[in-house]
């Protein structure tokens, strides 16, 4: 029996982002704490920071998300 396919996250754009080294571990740790991939966590906080709708695939995976201060 094969493995299950990953569910589509819809149309997205790939980019490369460089963070200050001293910030990166906090971002990675918070993504892990929330059970998210780092890219999904960053999409979540960017959407909230700009008062945009949170992507639907993130709403489905989030049962409890603590507010993010911007």
pLDDT digits (tens, 9 = 90+) for 43-61: 999 999 999 999 998 876 6
Closest CA to 38 of 47, 28, 46, 48: 28
Query: In the structure, what pLDDT confidence band is assigned to residue 66 with cuts at 50, 70 and 90?
Result: low
pLDDT mean across residues, the chain: 85
Q: Report the predicted TM-score, pTM, of the whole model to 2 decimal places.
A: 0.73
**What does each C-alpha distance from 53 to 5, 21, 26, 64, 69 come to in angstroms?**
26, 29, 24, 16, 17
Render pLDDT for 25-38 as a digit per residue (tens, 0 to 9).
999 999 999 999 99
Residue with tokens 């709708």: 53
Kindly report, residue by residue over 13-24, the tens digit of the pLDDT. 999 999 999 999
């Amino acid at each position: 029996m094969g493995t299950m396919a990953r569910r589509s996250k819809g149309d997205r754009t790939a980019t490369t982002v460089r963070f200050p080294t001293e910030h990166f571990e906090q971002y990675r740790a918070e993504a892990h704490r929330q059970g998210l991939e780092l890219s999904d966590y960053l999409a979540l906080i960017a959407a909230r920071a700009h008062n945009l709708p949170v992507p639907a695939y993130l709403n489905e995976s989030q049962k409890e998300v603590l507010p993010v201060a911007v």
